[in-house]
């Protein structure tokens, strides 16, 4: 505001604030678009986007976990950003106090990302939600229910993958690193391995390997178990729902090349 005021000292405060906002948003858009385009030019085989977008701001106590109309409109105003991106990276980090409602919290964030993944030219860009393996500001790893709400639900809804990471708090000592290894070897690793098998099998059988499946795990699914290092028989642990066809393919089973 100070820069605008220096240029136009006779303007009203309201006008100065409005012009400053427009100038700031214009400069921010140019910077972000330019950064994304440059990144894609320098690393064309990578996928580029901004972490945490789109957002639903749907984690307030006492409010529904749906993405509100107001937040959807805010995301629509950022379509220029998504048009310049080659992937979307929404955050589905969980707090411990969200455990009872974590499934709904994640569900609506993913749905909003999928809504915005269709570009103006009709092409779709992949969705890679960010997942923390621990709760924020804690060394406590996600429990089984929250892994199902994040990693499993992401696979069920047809994401391209998930980005899993922690921070320095989870790996400060040798003991921390060994705990991470145990968590991955005994629990998280088998979950990811079995979900990968399901998504690949579903894509081959129902989407002709030309799309990603959406599916539903059965209530008795045991996706975190292995038997002597080999994945269990997963045939009866999921049910096919629909295909999300890759760009260039269409049809209920992605069998029509456009």
Question: How many domains is the chain partitioned into structurally?
Answer: 2
Q: What is the pLDDT of residue 149?
A: 92
Say whether both 11 and 81 belong to one domain. Answer: no
Structural domain that includes position 13: 1-45
CATH classification of the domain holding 98:
3.20.20.70
Say whether both 131 and 210 belong to one domain. Answer: yes
Rounded Cα gap, residues 132 and 194, in angstroms: 19
Of the two residues 133 and 12, the one the predictor is more confident about is 133
Of 211, 205, 208, the residue nearest 239 (C-alpha): 205
Q: What is the pLDDT of residue 228?
A: 43
Q: How do residues 193-218 score in pLDDT, each as one tens digit?
A: 999 999 999 999 999 999 999 999 98
Give every CB contact of residue 157 below 8 A, 6+ residues apart in sequence. Answer: 107, 110, 111, 114, 214
Say whether both 146 and 250 belong to one domain. Answer: yes
Give the model's confidence band at 46: pLDDT under 50 very low, under 70 low, under 90 confident, else very high.
very high
Return the top range by mean pLDDT from 18-27, 118-127, 199-208. Answer: 199-208
Say whether both 16 and 94 belong to one domain. Answer: no
| Range 28-42 average pLDDT | 96
Angle of CA points 180, 182, 186, to nearest 5°: 125
Q: How do residues 125-184 score in pLDDT, each as one tens digit?
A: 999 999 999 988 888 899 988 999 999 999 999 999 999 987 776 777 888 889 999 999
Say whether both 92 and 63 belong to one domain. Answer: yes
Cβ burial, residue 227 (10 Å; 0-12/13-18/19+): exposed
Average pLDDT score over the chain: 88
Least confident of 36-40, 177-181, 241-245, 251-255: 177-181
Say whether both 58 and 167 belong to one domain. Answer: yes
Give the model's confidence band at 80: pLDDT under 50 very low, under 70 low, under 90 confident, else very high.
very high
Rounded Cα gap, residues 164 and 71, in angstroms: 25
Q: What is the pLDDT of residue 82?
A: 95
Of 111, 109, 92, 12, the residue nearest 56 (C-alpha): 109
Say whether both 164 and 221 belong to one domain. Answer: yes
180 dihedral zone (left: phi>0; alpha: psi -120 to 50; beta): alpha
Rounded Cα gap, residues 136 and 226, in angstroms: 29
Say whether both 31 and 114 belong to one domain. Answer: no
Give the model's confidence band at 65: pLDDT under 50 very low, under 70 low, under 90 confident, else very high.
confident
Q: What is the pLDDT of residue 1?
A: 74
User: With 50 as the cut, is the pLDDT of residue 227 above it?
Assistant: no
Q: What is the pLDDT of residue 218?
A: 85
| Range 183-197 average pLDDT | 91
Say whether both 174 and 58 belong to one domain. Answer: yes
Q: How many CB atoms lie within 10 A of CB 82?
A: 22
Say whether both 60 and 24 belong to one domain. Answer: no
Q: How many CB atoms lie within 10 A of CB 181?
A: 11
Rounded Cα gap, residues 24 and 6, in angstroms: 16
Q: What is the DSSP letter of 133?
A: S
| Range 100-105 average pLDDT | 85
Of the two residues 233 and 184, the one the predictor is more confident about is 184
Say whether both 39 and 54 belong to one domain. Answer: no
Of the two residues 63 and 237, the one the predictor is more confident about is 237
User: With 90 as the cut, is the pLDDT of residue 97 above it?
Assistant: no
Say whether both 33 and 85 belong to one domain. Answer: no
Report yes or no: 58 and 71 within 8 Å, Cβ to Cβ. yes
Q: What is the pLDDT of residue 237?
A: 82
């Amino acid at each position: 505001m100070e820069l605008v005021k220096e240029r136009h000292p006779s303007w009203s405060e309201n006008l100065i604030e409005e012009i400053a906002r427009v100038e700031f948003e214009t400069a921010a858009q140019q910077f972000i678009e330019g950064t994304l385009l440059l990144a894609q030019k320098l690393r064309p085989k990578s996928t580029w986007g901004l972490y945490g977008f789109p957002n639903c701001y749907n984690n307030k106590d006492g409010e529904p976990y749906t993405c509100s109309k107001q937040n959807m409109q805010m995301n629509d105003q950022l379509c220029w950003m998504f048009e310049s991106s080659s992937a979307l990276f929404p955050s589905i980090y969980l707090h411990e106090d969200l455990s009872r409602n974590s499934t709904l919290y994640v569900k609506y964030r993913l749905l909003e990302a999928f809504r915005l993944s269709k570009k103006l030219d009709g092409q779709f860009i992949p969705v890679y939600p960010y997942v923390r393996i621990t709760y924020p500001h804690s060394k406590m790893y996600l429990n089984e229910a929250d892994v199902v709400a994040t990693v499993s639900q992401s696979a069920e809804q047809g994401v391209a993958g998930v980005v899993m990471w922690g921070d320095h708090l989870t790996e400060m000592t040798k003991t921390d690193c060994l705990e991470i290894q145990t968590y991955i070897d005994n629990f998280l690793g088998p979950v990811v391995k079995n979900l990968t098998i399901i998504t690949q099998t579903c894509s081959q059988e129902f989407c002709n390997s030309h799309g990603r499946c959406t599916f539903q795990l059965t209530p008795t699914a045991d996706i975190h178990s292995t038997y002597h290092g080999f994945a269990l028989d997963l045939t009866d642990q999921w049910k096919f729902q629909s295909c999300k066809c890759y760009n260039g393919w269409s049809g209920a089973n992605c069998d029509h090349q456009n």
